[in-house]
């Protein structure tokens, strides 16, 4: 499994709108669900800082993500601009692969 992890600091007055946009049934998840291999989004809120969040987007593979982005670039850019209005800053923490252990 391929994960994309983002970190956000959200404007205090925009937290509900941020959760609606970035949550597991929000506009980002709906956009990604049009792509083959999308397996869901998890939105996590920091227990100590109510305006600090991370998202984990799950994909079958990096190739599945890239294929989705190639076909949805314009919609992606619109949502990205919408999200920028809700945040103080955001940063991509990275792309991660799930590693299984043998025991």
Q: Which fold has domain 2-97?
A: Alpha-Beta Plaits (3.30.70)
- 42-89 pLDDT tens trace: 999 999 999 999 999 999 999 999 999 999 999 999 999 999 999 999
Taking the C-alpha atoms of residue 28 and residue 57, their distance in angstroms, rounded to an integer, is 10
Task: Indicate the domain borders of the chain.
Answer: 2-97
| CB 35 within 8 Å of CB 72 | yes
pTM, two decimal places: 0.90
CA angle (80, 27, 97) in 5-degree steps? 75
* Residue 51: closest CA among 11, 19, 86, 81: 11
């Amino acid at each position: 499994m391929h994960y994309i992890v983002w970190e956000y600091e959200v404007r205090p007055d925009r937290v509900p709108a941020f959760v609606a946009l970035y949550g597991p049934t929000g506009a980002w998840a709906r956009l990604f669900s049009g792509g083959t291999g999308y397996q869901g989004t998890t939105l996590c809120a920091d227990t100590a800082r109510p305006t600090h969040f991370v998202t984990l987007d799950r994909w079958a593979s990096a190739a599945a993500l890239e294929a989705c982005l190639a076909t949805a670039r314009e919609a992606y850019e619109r949502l990205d601009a919408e999200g920028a209005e809700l945040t103080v800053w955001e940063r991509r923490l990275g792309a991660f692969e799930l590693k299984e252990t043998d025991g």
